[in-house]
């Protein structure tokens, strides 16, 4: 896909005819073809999963280095998708971008699902809302990000991916993770993974919204998630057991069930 | 040639069991382990060493690191300002303040101009890119630091040389609409610039800008390659060949009364490598930008970090690699002369002597011998024999194969 002169690697999964396509904004890593939720999601609509510039095989233009750039890029992606309505799911860092985009508004945005998103500051100045992605030890990140790190699906990575480095990880995976880690840092180092202004504009989100949270998330806690959802008019908050920061990977069936319910209900 | 004293003011008094258990001795070790009374004693001793150096003709280098046992110079401009008033004669090099961490290069320029005036024109300004734990303790994005460093250098230079300001700066990384520093520097148009790097493209850029290139513990081959890149860039730009005063090298150094003493005390300096760079993986090999993505598989699989901990730190090995000069005065002078030949010419030798568990008395004794017996042997040296330098390079390349 080429949007606004920017090449994007896109993973697509053909879906239910007639249903709005589903745009996925990934988090720490690109959406992998092996992701255990893809087939179930495709039953709800065509899945379109671009890799952010700097991630996967998407090049990053020289001066493309902020979340501001990502928001405008994905507004352009929404323009370019040949459908009148689009549903959007943002994971972790991608959830932040999705929330920014939804606050800016786009006429095609039909449903918004935020999965353990980062992006806002809620606590006091001496409270850390979001575990530091880059300054925390890999082992601690791995523990915080997963309900059970040993059940991470093969070839799918989230926070704490460093702990998976070993013979089973291919060179291509390492290079992809390294590229993404660099790009993520460029976009989100300071302030670390939030926009101080976003909180006061979440009320502008008009698309029906579901905030999904892993009950064991130690990166951004369910309390943070509940408060996040509370700032979005009419948003529904739902928690998934036995899942951490990446519930779509740890509990794919439960994840699909909730998204299906939300899409079919049509109303939060 | 000129000799320089570089001391990082380390704090080697944290109990070993604490250091062993700490995942990193930089950035995350709580400062409860730093006794301010001991720190005060260290400052006194090292400033006394600087006064001695001023008396005996050894120039002084300051720097800064943060949040760790390796360095108590928290702000190079502060320390350099003190040195400017403690000394009267020698050159003072700040190598340097961490411009990739400081939010406003204009303030850096103003601080340096102040020191240059304080010292009546004895300041030299050095730049270091830094990285790793410094990015953490300074909350500076570790990505794009090289570009940020160059923009900071450009803004500092313009701030120092502009005399009819204010001027405006709206760059990629720094915005300052009203730049007009007071005082302006004592030296005109500005103090000399230095930079510490072994990155070959950066060395080439230093050459084009006529900035003094310093290597830190690079050993014979990396240093020669870096200096060659500097020279080559000037040749390609049709600029005059650089003099030896454009090249500098920092090594561990101890001048003993005897070879045995030089080696024995020199061995203590290795604390810098064995203890003071211990750093957790998120502050080193996994830090964004630490390795190019295509190099990640090799770096991560081998467990190598950007600053791998050397496995053999025997003083003799370090000397053999050109990373340490140690022995009696004649031995050290010979080692430095050989280094000069093998790297193709150099003017500035920066001695890291007061390091690790080396004592105040030991440091002062070494500086005294260096000034009295080594420095005279480094004057009026014959021109570099380029054939001999090339012969050494070929021999090293053959040995590497």
Measure in Å the smallest separation between the Cα of B292 and chain A Cα atoms: 8
**Domains of chain A with bracketed CATH:** 2-265 (3.40.50.1820)
- Residues of chain B positioned with their CB less than 8 A from the CB of A55: none
For testing contact with chain A, the best of B151, B282, B294 (most A CBs within 10 A)? B282
Whole-prediction pTM value?
0.94
CB pair distance less than 8 Å for A65 and B287:
no
Residue of A175, A177, A186 with shortest CB distance to B143: A186
Question: How many helical (H) and strand (E) elements, i.e. helices and strands, does chain B have?
Answer: 15, 11
For the ranges A64-73, B18-27, B334-343, the lowest mean pLDDT is seen at: B18-27
What value does the mean pLDDT take over residues B358-372? 98
- CB proximity list for B158: less than 8 A, separation 6 or greater: B167, B169, B179
CB pair distance less than 8 Å for B296 and A189:
no
CB pair distance less than 8 Å for A138 and B286:
yes
Residue B132: closest CA among chain A residues belongs to which residue?
A135
What confidence tier does B401 reach under pLDDT thresholds 50, 70, 90? confident
pLDDT at B305: 46
Facing residues of B170 across strands? B175
N residues, chain B = 401
Write the CATH number for B274: 3.20.20.30
CB pair distance less than 8 Å for B282 and A185:
no
pLDDT at A118: 98
Q: Total structural domains in chain B? A: 1
N residues, chain A = 268
Residue B280: closest CA among chain A residues belongs to which residue?
A137
CB pair distance less than 8 Å for A175 and B289:
no
Rounded alpha-carbon distances, angstroms, from residue A205 to A31, A100, A194, B260: 25, 9, 17, 75
Give me the DSSP letters along B248-277. EEEEEEEEESSHHHHHHHHHHHTHHHHTTT
For B379-391, the pLDDT digits (tens) are 999 999 999 999 9
- Residues of chain B positioned with their CB less than 8 A from the CB of A181: 286, 288
Residue B134: closest CA among chain A residues belongs to which residue?
A135
Residue A190: closest CA among chain B residues belongs to which residue?
B141
Residue B244: give the domain boundaries.
2-400
Kindly give the confidence (pLDDT) of every residue in chain A, 268 residues in length, as a single tens digit, with 9 standing for 90 and above.
999 999 999 999 998 778 999 999 999 999 999 999 999 999 999 999 999 999 999 999 999 999 999 999 999 999 999 999 999 999 999 999 999 999 999 999 999 999 999 999 999 999 999 999 999 999 999 999 999 999 899 889 999 999 888 878 999 999 999 999 999 999 999 999 999 999 999 999 999 999 999 999 999 999 999 999 999 999 999 999 999 999 999 999 999 999 999 999 754 4
Backbone angles phi, psi at A201, to 5 degrees: -115, 0
ipTM: 0.93
Measure in Å the smallest separation between the Cα of A102 and chain B Cα atoms: 27
CB pair distance less than 8 Å for A175 and B294:
yes
- Rounded to 5°, the CA angle B180-B185-B186 comes to 150
pLDDT at B307: 47
The answer to whether the beta carbons of residues B202 and B195 sit under 8 Å apart is yes
Measured in Å, how far apart are chain B's first and last C-alpha atoms?
33
- Residues of chain A positioned with their CB less than 8 A from the CB of B288: 134, 181-182, 184-186, 189
Measured in Å, how far apart are chain A's first and last C-alpha atoms?
32
pLDDT over threshold 70, residue B310: no
């Amino acid at each position: 896909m080429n949007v606004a002169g920017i090449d994007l690697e896109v993973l697509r999964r053909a879906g239910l005819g007639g249903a709005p396509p589903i745009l996925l904004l990934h988090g720490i890593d690109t959406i992998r073809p092996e992701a255990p939720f893809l087939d179930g999601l495709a039953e709800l609509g065509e899945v379109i999963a671009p890799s952010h510039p700097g991630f996967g095989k998407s090049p990053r233009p020289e001066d493309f280095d902020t979340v501001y750039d990502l928001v405008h890029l994905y507004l352009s992606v929404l323009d370019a998708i040949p459908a009148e309505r689009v549903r959007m799911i943002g994971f972790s860092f991608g959830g932040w971008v999705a929330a920014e985009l939804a606050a800016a508004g786009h006429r095609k945005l039909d449903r918004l699902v935020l999965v353990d998103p980062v992006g806002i500051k809620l606590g006091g100045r001496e409270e850390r809302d979001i575990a530091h992605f880059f300054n925390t030890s890999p082992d601690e990140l791995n523990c915080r990000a997963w309900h059970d790190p040993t059940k991470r699906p093969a070839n799918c990575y989230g926070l704490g991916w460093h702990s998976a480095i070993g013979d089973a990880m291919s060179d291509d995976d390492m290079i992809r993770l390294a590229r993404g880690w660099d790009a993520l840092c460029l976009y989100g180092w300071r302030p670390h993974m939030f926009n101080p202004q976003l909180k006061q504009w979440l009320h502008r989100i008009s698309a029906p919204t579901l905030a999904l949270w892993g009950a064991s998330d130690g990166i951004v806690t369910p309390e943070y998630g509940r408060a996040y959802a509370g700032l979005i008019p009419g948003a529904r908050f739902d928690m998934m057991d036995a899942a951490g920061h990446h519930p779509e990977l740890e509990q794919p069936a439960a994840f699909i069930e909730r998204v299906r319910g939300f899409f079919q209900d049509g109303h939060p | 040639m000129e000799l320089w004293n570089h001391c990082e003011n380390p704090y080697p008094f944290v109990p070993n069991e604490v250091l062993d258990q700490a995942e990193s001795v930089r950035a995350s070790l709580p400062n409860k382990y730093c006794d301010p009374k001991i720190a005060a004693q260290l400052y006194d001793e090292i400033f006394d060493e600087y006064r001695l150096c001023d008396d005996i003709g050894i120039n002084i280098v300051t720097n800064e690191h943060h949040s760790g046992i390796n360095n108590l110079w928290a702000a190079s401009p502060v320390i350099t300002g003190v040195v400017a008033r403690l000394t009267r004669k020698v050159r003072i090099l700040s190598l340097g303040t961490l411009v990739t961490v400081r939010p406003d290069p204009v303030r850096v320029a103003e601080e340096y101009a102040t020191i240059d005036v304080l010292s009546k024109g004895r300041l030299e300004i050095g730049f270091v890119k830094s990285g790793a734990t410094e990015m953490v303790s300074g909350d500076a994005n570790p990505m794009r630091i090289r570009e940020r460093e160059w923009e900071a250098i450009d803004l500092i230079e313009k701030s120092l040389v502009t005399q009819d300001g204010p001027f405006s700066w709206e760059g990629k990384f720094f915005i300052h609409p009203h730049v007009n520093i007071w005082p302006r520097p004592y030296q005109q148009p500005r103090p000399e610039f230095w930079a510490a790097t072994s990155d070959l493209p950066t060395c080439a850029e230093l050459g084009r800008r006529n900035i003094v290139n310093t290597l830190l513990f690079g050993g014979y081959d990396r240093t020669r390659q870096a200096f060659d890149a500097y020279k080559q860039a000037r040749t390609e730009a049709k600029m005059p060949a650089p003099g030896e005063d454009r090249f500098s090298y920092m090594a561990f150094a101890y001048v003993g009364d005897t070879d045995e003493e030089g080696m024995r005390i020199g061995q203590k300096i290795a604390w810098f490598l064995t203890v003071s760079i211990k750093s957790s993986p998120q502050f080193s090999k996994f830090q964004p930008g630490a390795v190019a993505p295509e190099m990640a598989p090799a770096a991560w699989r081998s467990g190598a970090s950007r600053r791998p901990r050397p496995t053999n730190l025997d003083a003799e090995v370090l000397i053999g690699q050109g990373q340490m000069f140690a022995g009696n005065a004649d031995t050290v002078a010979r080692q430095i002369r050989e280094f000069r030949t093998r790297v193709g010419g150099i003017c500035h030798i920066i001695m890291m002597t007061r390091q690790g568990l080396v004592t105040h008395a030991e440091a002062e004794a070494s500086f005294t011998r260096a000034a009295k017996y080594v420095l005279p042997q480094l004057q009026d040296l014959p021109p570099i024999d380029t054939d001999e330098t090339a012969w050494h390079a070929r021999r090293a390349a053959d040995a590497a194969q």
